[in-house]
Amino acid sequence: NAGVMQNPRHLVRRRGQEARLRCSPMKGHSHVYWYRQLPEEGLKFMVYLQKENIIDESGMPKERFSAEFPKEGPSILRIQQVVRGDSAAYFCASSGSRAIEAFFGQGTRLTVV
Amino acid sequence: QQQVKQSPQSLIVQKGGISIINCAYENTAFDYFPWYQQFPGKGPALLIAIRPDVSEKKEGRFTISFNKSAKQFSLHIMDSQPGDSATYFCAASMKGAQKLVFGQGTRLTINP
């Protein structure tokens, strides 16, 4: 039973480019969460999705960031026109229908140069 | 009110000793308090969790102590081992809300 799968593990983008981060939840999990971790800091909630629905996006920056979790395929976190301040580790987590225990992927480390 | 404050930022403990990490919160609507362990380059892994209807939960060498009136909870690692060296995060979530609010993290080093 594979865990939460994120890819790519490392992503380098130049300022102004787009970054696409992918997350496949654990088998049987229908809830997906995205968190951002800046160096030496804790994780900050960004968005919570269920299949085809955004449930809570209170932690998402108002511009350039978007997320989706389509009926088929992985959840995608998209960052348009990246800036140096977007450099961080982005973690995806998933949980089952009871939505109590969340399991995290290994993260995507985004570096903007 | 959404914050969870964690201390200390870093902690060094001798092998075999007890590691203690503390967290405090303000929002009394929080009703689920997990602890996560994170190794460098890895994602956080759920270690142990507690709800406010119990004052203590123990799993192996790991114990959560919960003080509802003081709005504080702590992680105790008994007989600490070098393999426990990692960053530990406390977190909290509210009933009906799925997102976790994380503390700032504690970098634990266990000296052999």
Instruction: Tell me if B43 and A44 make a contact (CB, 8 A cut-off).
Output: no
Both structure tokens of A16: 């102004």
Instruction: Tell me if B98 and A33 make a contact (CB, 8 A cut-off).
Output: yes
Q: Is the pLDDT of residue A84 over 90?
A: yes
In chain B, residues with a C-beta closer than 8 Å to the C-beta of A43 are 44, 89, 100, 102
What is the strand order of the sheet B4-7 is part of?
B4-7, B19-25, B72-77, B62-67, B56-59
Both structure tokens of B93: 């979530």
* Rg, chain B, Cα only: 13
Instruction: Tell me if A33 and B46 make a contact (CB, 8 A cut-off).
Output: no
- Kindly report, residue by residue over A25-80, the tens digit of the pLDDT: 999 898 999 999 988 788 999 999 998 899 999 999 999 999 999 999 999 999 99
In chain A, residues with a C-beta closer than 8 Å to the C-beta of B104 are 41-42
* pLDDT for the residue A1: 52
* pLDDT for the residue A39: 81
- Kindly report, residue by residue over B61-98, the tens digit of the pLDDT: 999 999 999 999 999 999 999 999 999 999 999 877 77
In chain A, positions 19-58, which contact chain B (CB-CB < 8 Å)?
31, 33, 35, 40-45, 48, 55-56, 58
Q: State which residue of chain A sits closest to B95, comparing Cα positions.
A: A100
Q: Is the pLDDT of residue A96 over 90?
A: no
Query: Which residues, in sequence order, are bridge partners of residue B74?
Result: B22, B65
The average pLDDT across B25-46 equals: 93
Q: State which residue of chain A sits closest to B48, comparing Cα positions.
A: A101
Distance between A106 CA and the closest CA of chain B, angstroms: 4
C-alpha distances in Å from residue A22, one per residue of A32, A90, B36, B69 = 11, 10, 22, 42
